[in-house]
Amino acid sequence: MDKQDYLVSLVVPCYNEHETVETFVKTVDEKLESIKDHLEIVFVDDGSKDDTAAIIERLQKEDERISLIKLSRNFGKEAAMSAALDLVKGDALVMMDVDLQDPPELVLEFVRCWREEGVDNVYGIRTDRSQDTETKRMTSGGFYYVFNKLSSRVKIPSNAGDFRLIDRKVIDTLKQLPERNRFMKGLFAWPGFVSKGIGYKRPERVAGKTKWNYWKLWNFALDGISGFSSLPLRVWSYIGGAIGILAILYMIFIFIKTAITGVEVPGYASLMSAILFLGSVQLISIGVLGEYLGRLGEEVKGRPVYVVSKITGPLSKQVKNGMSVTPVGVTCNLEKGKEDHN
Ligand code: UDP
Ligand code: MG
């Protein structure tokens, strides 16, 4: 693949990141000096309540390669990434966190793999997770294991995050996926194409705090599994079948025993265990049904995953003026006085 004149869009979702944005731009300038003419930075402000957007707008005055996609409220990182996928125009896109946990210098290697080796999906793999707690490492390891066991076709590499470069053809494929459940790690893997992982050591956040907690991570894991496997739904027929067979065997056993030894009143313990066990199995299966049903409801409603309220910087000139609707989002790019009334 020969891409002499190429543009890489660095996509950076931000939520309440006033402490990190400026350092991010400085570090990127420094570390990616050698490809600076081929780079644009697209910040997605995910409804920050602090002055993140104001800082980005100030930085735009000093650097004309910076664009800002402003969402109308906080929609979550997955939605912010979806908005960027729909809007950026680069020949390739690199997803990066603003907290510098995704080392910018690795982007050089991503771009090299993309241009010279023709890899379409270059992703970073965290080889050293010593910054994470033992519990976090164990739970995330468990998640990747379960996900890949349950999802028969789409496999996600363990310890790969959102930090990656994807080629235009992967971007255009992803833009066709209409689902509201944006489990991006899975979606990034879904199109296939030539993929390659590159190991790196994940540093600590430069400033600020993580936006994740265990409850959010648990729900994120459920989104991932329900989005890529229906096995948790189907497995209950088998569990029910197995318990049914055991029940019949036990019934035969009781019949024979009663025929031989006569009626015996005691049996409270076994009765209680059976009732409680079956009760819990039924509740779990209804719960699993609920998980899928709730998500199905979201899909049926078909509400946009994100709403863009404003675009500034070079990107605003490339995006159609007025309101535009994609399979997953709504974009308002209204220049004052030039509203599109069609
Ligand atoms: N982020 C976002 N919307 C949110 C939460 C986070 O755009 O609702 C951004 C955040 O600003 C950062 C990236 O997603 O650039 C990763 O967030 P964080 O560092 O909190 O996640 P972690 O690295 O701990 O997984
Ligand atoms: Mg982080």
Q: Which residue has the tokens 């255009």?
A: 172
User: What span, in angstroms and rounded, lies between the C-alpha atoms of 225 and 203?
Assistant: 28
Residue 336: per-residue pLDDT? 56
Residue 154 has pLDDT above 70, yes or no: yes
In ligand 1, the atom with minimum distance to the C-alpha of 76 is: 8
Residue 298 pLDDT grade (very low, low, confident, very high; cuts 50, 70, 90): confident
How many CB atoms within 10 Å of residue 50? 14
Q: What pLDDT digit, counting tens, does each position of 92-140 carry?
A: 999 999 999 899 999 999 999 999 999 999 999 988 777 778 888 888 8
Q: From ligand 2's centre to the CA of 102, what distance in Å?
A: 8
In ligand 1, the atom with minimum distance to the C-alpha of 14 is: 11
Mean pLDDT of the chain: 88
Higher pLDDT, 83 or 206: 83
Q: From ligand 1's centre to the CA of 302, what distance in Å?
A: 25
Q: What pLDDT digit, counting tens, does each position of 49-101 carry?
A: 999 999 999 999 998 899 999 999 999 999 999 999 999 999 999 999 999 98
In ligand 1, the atom with minimum distance to the C-alpha of 161 is: 25
Ligand 1 environment, Cβ below 6 A: 13-15, 17, 46, 74, 76-77, 80, 97-99, 101, 210-212
Distance of CA 85 to the CA centre of its chain: 13
Q: For 46, how many CA atoms within 13 A lie in the half-sphere containing its CB?
A: 22
Q: From ligand 1's centre to the CA of 99, what distance in Å?
A: 8
**Sequential DSSP letters for 222-238:** HHHHHHH--HHHHHHHH
Residue 251: per-residue pLDDT? 86
In ligand 1, the atom with minimum distance to the C-alpha of 80 is: 7
Residues sharing a CB contact under 8 Å with residue 324, sequence separation 6 or more, in sequence order: 330, 331, 333
Q: Could you tell me what percent of the chain has a pLDDT over 70?
A: 96
Residue 169: per-residue pLDDT? 94
80-94, 116-130, 259-273, 284-298 — which is least confidently predicted?
259-273
User: What span, in angstroms and rounded, lies between the C-alpha atoms of 277 and 138?
Assistant: 28
Tokens of 291: 């998980």
Burial code (b: 16+ CB inside 10 Å, e: under 16) for 237-249 equals eeeeeeeeeeeee
User: What span, in angstroms and rounded, lies between the C-alpha atoms of 90 and 8?
Assistant: 5
Report the amino acid identity of residue 80: A
Residue 337: per-residue pLDDT? 47
Residue with CA at minimum distance from ligand 1 atom 10: 14
Which among 97, 126, 136 is the best mutation to test ligand 1's pocket, defined by most ligand atoms within 8 Å of the CB? 97
Residue 1 has pLDDT above 60, yes or no: no
- pTM assigned to the model: 0.83
Q: From ligand 2's centre to the CA of 214, what distance in Å?
A: 15
Distances (CA, A) of 58 to 15, 51, 137: 17, 11, 38
